[in-house]
Structure formats: structure tokens, C-alpha cells
Amino acid sequence: MRYLSFVSNAGILTRGTIDTYSLEDFDRMVAISVRAAFIGIQAAAQEMKNSGRIVLIGSNTAIRTAFPGGSVYSMTKAALTGLVRGAAIDLAPRAITVNNVQPGPTATDMSAPHAEMVKTLIPLKRIGEVSEIAGLVSYLASEEAGFITGASLTIDGGYVA
């Protein structure tokens, strides 16, 4: 069976401590990380009549705020976990699954400057590869993942274990 799939991978990181964080930056972070995911789920669900796979890309910071100035980023990623659980219940009668992948440090341009330092904090002593994250997303978008919904799956080399 062929499934329509939607993957939402939008997010930005604007760091700042909670006592100095601007309301403008807060609104922008929420708009890009949370509001965009909501709109994407809504639009995808309208196209998916009676089956489909929706996957959000969050962050392991939903579980653990790992650095000073990351509270708002972590909050937006934690919001995705609640959105996924609720959307999964709403869309289950239509056989649409909704899940959240929560990567930890991954070999991307954004993490490159901090990769060596971060590796020391990860039990597997390396950062993740994009292909590893993509493999999990691909599985969640497949027919075989039809009984997984409402889940937030962390893939971070044991960083938040």
C-alpha cells in the first residue's frame, strides 16, 4: 500500500537566557518551530483521506536542556511532543499516524563548530549521522510502522539516557 507522508523539519535556534530573551525572538521561535508544525499537520491531514504518515523532527532538548540560553528552544521542541500525542489521537480513526523524531547532536553545518566538545558528552562518543536520522524517519513513514503513533523517539547516542 502506498502512503502519503509529510515530514516537518523546521526549526531555528536563537539563544538567550530567560531573563534577557526578547519577545520578538520568542514569537519567531514559536512561529517557526511550533506554529509551522501545526499548520503542516493540518494541511497534510486534509490531503490524507484514510491513511498516511506524519513525522515531525524535534530535538532531544525536549527532554534535557543541555546548554545555557536554550530554554526557549527546548520549550518549542517539548511543545512538539504534546502536539504529536494529541494529533495522533485526533487522526487515528483515519489510520494516519503522527510521530516525532528527536535527534541529538548530528553531523550538520549547525553542529559542526561544537562537534568535538559534544562528542565527549555522548555515551557512544560520536555525533549522529544524517543518514541515521533519515533511516528512522523513513521507517516511521513506511507501512511497517503502522502501529506506531503518538511517539517521540529519541535518537542521540545515549545523550539523554
73 in catalytic set? yes
Rounded Cα distance, 111 and 121, in Å: 14
Task: Identify any residues that bridge with 102 across adjacent strands, giving them in sequence order.
Answer: 154
Which segments of the chain does DSSP mark as H helices, in order?
Answer: 23-30, 36-47, 71-91, 115-119, 130-140
Q: Look up cell 491531514; give the residue.
A: 45
Smallest Cα–Cα separation from 70: which of 33, 106, 36, 35? 33
CA 42-48-53 angle, 5° bins = 85
Of 21, 73, 139, 159, the active-site residue reads 73
Return the active site residues: 73
